[in-house]
Structure 1
Amino acid sequence: MRSFVAVGAPVDPVVALTRIAWLLERRRESTYRVEAFRKAARAAERVGVEELTERATAGTLTAIVGIGKTTASVIAESVAGELPGYLADVQQTSPDSLASGGDDLYLAIRGDLHAHTDWSDGGAPLDEMARAASALGHEWLTITDHSPRLTVANGLGPERLRRQIDDIAELNRSSDGTCHILTGIEVDILDDGSLDQTDELLDHLDVVTASVHSKLRMDAAPMTRRMVAAVADPRVDVLGHCTGRRVAGGRGARPQSVFDAAEVFAACAHHGTAVEINSRPERVDPPDDLIELAYDLGCLFAIDSDAHAPGQLDFKALGAQRAERLGIEPDRIVTTWTLDRLLAWTAGGTRSSR
């Protein structure tokens, strides 16, 4: 299994720079390093291949704002019809899979219900996330940027969300159709269990993933009521990273929230709300024992990347490994479903299907 199928010479310089950024993100390299290639790709796209070729011959590529010595070498080799050495090295040294196991389930996954763009706290624009999803073989991808209360993540108020919905419609109209982009939101679950977006917009979206981002140390009883109220809302399709824990990463560890998991998952099962298996390596959320409890109670699941950059879409391999190890059948995982079946489910038509 190989993610982001390797490209060879000749390769467009923008494709080469973008592919390097994706693979570095997948390996969790520094944001600064990744952004250098992304900026160079944007600069190269603005300039065009003809000028890039002229400047490569003249040795003036680094005079273009956003292009440095390393990225200039990538461009020069690319316009010369060669596979850039930097890209060849990154492709060669990137592991075939991020996980040791779960390959069959990985291949069965058709899409993702939780991904962010630079509209909120993601690192790439909508169209680049779509191209990366297509390169991974996704049939569909849901954009779930944050809701307005999460100001630290530049959450989308109603007007910005409406504009994003329009942009997604235009992107789908102009795409080659290999990966359909769904409208969505990662909506904050407020203290009383209500949702941080207008009713009109929540009704309009293809997918609603609901997550707790505040007061994570709330006492168990009110936290349980809060989560049950959210998953019982007919507009909520997925309960995101339910414990809120962090087990690793640059921002440090964080304990899981305390709530009556049996009551919350029973509500998920009753209302047909999927429990997210969040694939981010710093989350591993829910822990195994809670996944097993949700399974025993009859819940559906969603293996999601929670990607904040294109290369992170392949985090799904980590979720697939866990789900396969815990014996979850693919049909219980909504991210293995066809687009038509998924949309029938989010519209409420198959909420009782198990």
Structure 2
Amino acid sequence: MPSARDPIADLRRIAFLLERAHEKTYRVRAFRGAAATLGKLAEGELATRAQAGTLTDIQGIGDVTARCVVESLNGEEPVYLRRLEATAGQDLDAETAGLLHRLRGDCHSHSDWSDGGSPIDEMAMAAAQIGHEYLVLTDHSPRLTVARGLSAERLEEQLGVVADVNAGFRQLGLSFRLLTGIEVDILADGSLDQTDELLDRLDVVVASVHSNLKDEPEVMTRRMVNALANPRMDILGHCTGRLITGGRGTRAESRFDAEAVFAAAVEHDKAIEINSRPERLDPPKRLLRVALEAGCRFTIDTDAHAPGQLDWLANGCARAVACGVPADRILNTLPADDLLAWAASHK
């Protein structure tokens, strides 16, 4: 009889693949919740319950998750997992695959400290497991209350958690680094929604517009240009704010003078994010080409809110390749120390 697999690891892998496929949240939660619940059982209880057929007596364990556990304990790859793995591959052309291989990390991600779905350590471990050298944690800032934005006090606390996570990686002998950051709101006057003192302490600052997205073009342009001039900002996130698909519906692009905004990014050596979320894919290709012609630097980021979404970088790579963005203009092809040196140069 084949030796048992790790059923909790299999449940987490299923959740990861469901997240990457952008499946419904309730499906992901079923598997992540089951993994968390079963991980708290006393030693030997999981196998005992599986043999007795009483796994579904545990709250949060349904027929599908129980079946996956039994198959794992029997040394079999769960059928549910096998089907997901069989359909999980992405058909990438050679140039896109090559650019994806050159990316060393991701500069935009969220945890359950704001509107993400998973703890900080799970996001970090998932990034390490898919081959990233670093991940920047960029939970939201306080004004975005709908996303549980972090007050100064909570952000201060989070910095300690990030330090602990990195200490854990060092103890494991892993070189992966979780970098501190924030997705800070660009306010109406172009100022940033967090204290200067805290922004100065962060490794990377992504700044995005989340409110008044229908402002007149001259108002939006002034707002973004002012933000780009702030020495504490590094990356302009999802610059048009558009939504092209997904559960939140669609949303038109914000209107602004793209040439003026991208010129300001070049003047202050700030990066334009190529956002890889399927519902964003922002900026649109026509604006990505304008930014390229203006001489902008870029980052390709997932804006991940769950571990499986960290595997979305190929979406941004495909758009960069389609628009002719060279790898040497993409900052997250750099090692962590070089990325940090670039970010520090603004302050």
Into which bin does the TM-score normalised by the smaller protein fall? over 0.9
Check the 8 A contact 2:196/2:232 in 1, yes or no: no
Equivalent residue for 2:263? 266
Equivalent residue for 2:102? 108
User: Secondary structure, in 3 states, of the residue corresponding to 1:246?
Assistant: coil
Residue identity opposite 1:273 in structure 2:
K
Equivalent residue for 2:290? 293
User: Secondary structure, in 3 states, of the residue corresponding to 1:102?
Assistant: helix
Matches within 5 A, 1:143-182: 143-175=137-169, 176=172, 177-182=174-179
The 1:98/1:24 distance shift into structure 2, 3 A limit, reads farther
Task: Find the aligned partners of 2:340 and 2:127 in 1 and give their Cα distance.
Answer: 18
Verify: 1:216 aligned to 2:213, yes or no.
yes
The 1:184/1:105 distance shift into structure 2, 3 A limit, reads same
User: Secondary structure, in 3 states, of the residue corresponding to 1:227?
Assistant: helix
Q: By how many angstroms is 1:11 displaced?
A: 3.1
Match of 1:239 among 233, 236, 239: 236
Q: By how many angstroms is 1:10 displaced?
A: 4.9
Task: Find the aligned partners of 2:338 and 2:43 in 1 and give their Cα distance.
Answer: 42
Matches within 5 A, 1:7-26: 10-26=4-20
Check the 8 A contact 1:49/1:79 in 2, yes or no: no
Equivalent residue for 1:81? 75
Aligned residue pair count: 343
Check the 8 A contact 1:269/1:297 in 2, yes or no: yes
Match of 1:276 among 263, 273, 277: 273
Equivalent residue for 1:306? 303
Equivalent residue for 1:31? 25
User: Secondary structure, in 3 states, of the residue corresponding to 1:141?
Assistant: strand
Residue identity opposite 1:31 in structure 2:
T
Verify: 1:188 aligned to 2:188, yes or no.
no
Match of 2:113 among 108, 111, 119: 119
The 1:19/1:195 distance shift into structure 2, 3 A limit, reads same
Task: Find the aligned partners of 2:138 and 2:186 in 1 and give their Cα distance.
Answer: 14
Q: By how many angstroms is 1:161 displaced?
A: 0.8
The 1:341/1:10 distance shift into structure 2, 3 A limit, reads farther
Task: Find the aligned partners of 1:268 and 1:45 in 2 and give their Cα distance.
Answer: 47
Task: Find the aligned partners of 1:34 and 1:93 in 2 and give their Cα distance.
Answer: 17
Equivalent residue for 1:65? 59
Task: Find the aligned partners of 1:101 and 1:340 in 2 and give their Cα distance.
Answer: 26
Match of 2:85 among 91, 116, 128: 91
Q: Taking every aligned residue pair, what percent have the same amino acid on both sides?
A: 56
Equivalent residue for 1:5? none
Check the 8 A contact 1:98/1:318 in 2, yes or no: no
Query: Once the two structures are superposed, what CA deviation does each residue of 1:127-161 show, in whole Å capped at 9, x if it has no partner?
Result: 11112111211100011111010000111101111
Task: Find the aligned partners of 1:59 and 1:248 in 2 and give their Cα distance.
Answer: 42
Check the 8 A contact 2:218/2:256 in 1, yes or no: yes
The 1:178/1:71 distance shift into structure 2, 3 A limit, reads farther
User: Secondary structure, in 3 states, of the residue corresponding to 1:184?
Assistant: strand
Task: Find the aligned partners of 1:80 and 1:53 in 2 and give their Cα distance.
Answer: 10
Task: Find the aligned partners of 2:212 and 2:3 in 1 and give their Cα distance.
Answer: 52
Equivalent residue for 2:334? 337
Task: Find the aligned partners of 2:43 and 2:295 in 1 and give their Cα distance.
Answer: 55
Check the 8 A contact 1:134/1:178 in 2, yes or no: no
Q: TM-score, normalised by structure 1?
A: 0.93
Residue identity opposite 2:86 in structure 1:
Q
Q: By how many angstroms is 1:93 displaced?
A: 2.0
Match of 2:251 among 251, 254, 262: 254
Moved more, 92-101 or 162-171: 92-101
Task: Find the aligned partners of 1:70 and 1:54 in 2 and give their Cα distance.
Answer: 18
Task: Find the aligned partners of 1:84 and 1:48 in 2 and give their Cα distance.
Answer: 23
Residue identity opposite 2:325 in structure 1:
I
Verify: 1:55 aligned to 2:49, yes or no.
yes
Residue identity opposite 2:279 in structure 1:
E
The 1:298/1:23 distance shift into structure 2, 3 A limit, reads same
Residue identity opposite 2:278 in structure 1:
P
Runs of 4+ displaced beyond 6 Å: 98-101
Q: TM-score, normalised by structure 2?
A: 0.95
Task: Find the aligned partners of 1:99 and 1:283 in 2 and give their Cα distance.
Answer: 22
Q: By how many angstroms is 1:339 displaced?
A: 0.7
Residue identity opposite 1:220 in structure 2:
P
Q: By how many angstroms is 1:80 displaced?
A: 2.6
Check the 8 A contact 2:237/2:275 in 1, yes or no: yes
Query: Once the two structures are superposed, what CA deviation does each residue of 1:73-122 show, in whole Å capped at 9, x if it has no partner?
Result: 11122223222222112111222358896111111111111111111111
Task: Find the aligned partners of 1:72 and 1:102 in 2 and give their Cα distance.
Answer: 39
Check the 8 A contact 1:10/1:83 in 2, yes or no: no
Match of 2:197 among 196, 200, 203: 200
Task: Find the aligned partners of 1:100 and 1:252 in 2 and give their Cα distance.
Answer: 33
Task: Find the aligned partners of 1:123 and 1:42 in 2 and give their Cα distance.
Answer: 13
Q: By how many angstroms is 1:41 displaced?
A: 0.6
User: Secondary structure, in 3 states, of the residue corresponding to 1:185?
Assistant: strand
